[in-house]
Amino acid sequence: MKASTVCRILRCYSLKRGLRENYYAAHKFLGRVCSLLKSQNRIYLRKAAIDCFRYLFDCTQPLEGKTREGAEAAAAWILKAQEATPDGGVSHGFFPLEKPNAWKPSYPEITGYIIPSLLQYAERHRQPDARHAALVMASWLLEIQLESGAVQAGVISSSSESSPAIFNTGMVLYGWTAAFRASGEGRFLEAAKRAADFMIADLRDDGYFETHGPCVTYHPIKTYNCLCAWGLLRLGQDLKNERYKQAALKIVDAALLQQQSNGWFANNCLSHPEAPLVHTIAYTLQGILEVGILTERAHFIRAVELGTVPLLDRMRANGFLHGRYFSDWEPACFSSCLTGSAQIAVVCYRLAEITGSGIYLDSANRLVNFLKAVQEMNTPDSNAIGAIAGSFPLLGGYMPGGYPSWATKFLLDSLLLQDAQAKTNIQPLPFHNFGTERADHNSPTRLGSFPGSYR
């Protein structure tokens, strides 16, 4: 990393936060360090030390092969995260430095979009237990749906304390569409319809949503909400409802208005839009990409390429990717957001399927091979086996010191796609001539269905 970039990152965070916020951030960091020094956390003290060494000397060796083993371990950890809760949902994650409350309560949003991942894993690996667990998740989400049709923000709480959040609602809607397609049970479709009606009522004329919930910094535009369009479009297909389909396109069109000429998206973070997380960058890219595929719109695919290639240009040879980026695509933090790396790998595998480009395939494999190298496979703590941490190193900037459940969900997605592409001879579709010409942005292009795509 350039010295000027290091100075820029330090200057950005010291000035952006202010004195009080910097004090609290330092206090939290020191608290985690003190927790590591406790005898009960020696396992994680060792991990943190090894992570720091590997980070400082850039010596993490990518792991080729063992894709199936990694997927099986990731799926097993997700099932463990469900078992850790009393209600059928999936835990927010495992945070060992916060013992005795290391396993967190169920998180509806994450439970929702874990459902398609588990169903796909169950089908590929012939694991009926995973299918059953996914449908239990979907059933539990029916019980906690708000009267408005929305899904609450944050971890599970009593209905009197629940606040609706549009992104959470969209992710659960996506999960219900997968549950319906897998089971044929109309109750999932009915719940999804109620959620979709809430979303459309919340959608402004400009294509942006109003209700972001209390867990994110307020801003009238949250570009990553465009991932909600994917579930809405899928429901429109299931119900043959043109209103839902048109709303999905409106959401993506609005997201594209936030894209700069260099591919970077504005207003695209939970809390720091000037330096968005790769996690939310990938949400945006995946939403636009999947809607583009389903609606046969080539200019959506082109926009995703424009926003993906700069990240790949900045990825290290071993697959390390920084966790935040400024508007000129310079790194905006020192650590890696492993969740975001897994998501970008998913986007790259999908682009490889569409374009036939080895650039995307190679990049996706590098990202996943790095993630496999940091996946917990040999830890003495059985609560972490199969998971990946929020950050690399462990005490990095995103979900420090813990294993958020969505990180391992996206790891599972990327491993399933890596396994699928290894068995498929990917060929480009006729519409695409990578890097040489642009599609007509006003006309849809014929796209097919691809191996590894989500059902």
- pLDDT tens-digit series, residues 373-399: 999 999 999 999 999 999 999 999 999
Inside any domain, residue 455: no
The CATH number assigned to the domain holding 394 equals: 1.50.10.10
The confidence score (pLDDT) of residue 146 equals 96
Phi, psi of 2 (to 5 degrees): -65, 150
Peptide bond into 220 cis (omega under 30): no
Is there a domain that residue 331 lies in?
yes
Inside any domain, residue 330: yes
Q: How many domains does the chain have?
A: 1
Structural domain for 264, as ranges? 12-422
Contacts 24+ apart (CB under 8 A), 432-436: 432/298, 432/301, 432/354, 432/355, 432/356, 434/355, 434/356, 434/357, 434/359
110 is a domain residue: yes
pLDDT score at 13: 76
Would residue 429 count as lying in a domain? no
Write the pLDDT tens digit of every residue in 18-53. 778 788 888 899 999 999 999 999 999 999 999 999
- Of all residues in the chain, what percent carry a pLDDT higher than 70? 92
Would 24 be classed as within a structural domain?
yes
Average pLDDT over all residues of the chain: 92
Residue with tokens 């297909």: 237
Judged against a pLDDT cut of 60, whether residue 321 lies above it is answered with yes
- The reply to whether 159 falls in a domain is yes
431 within a domain of the structure (yes/no): no
| pTM, entire model | 0.93
Statement: residue 166 has pLDDT above 70: yes
Q: Is the pLDDT of residue 75 over 60?
A: yes
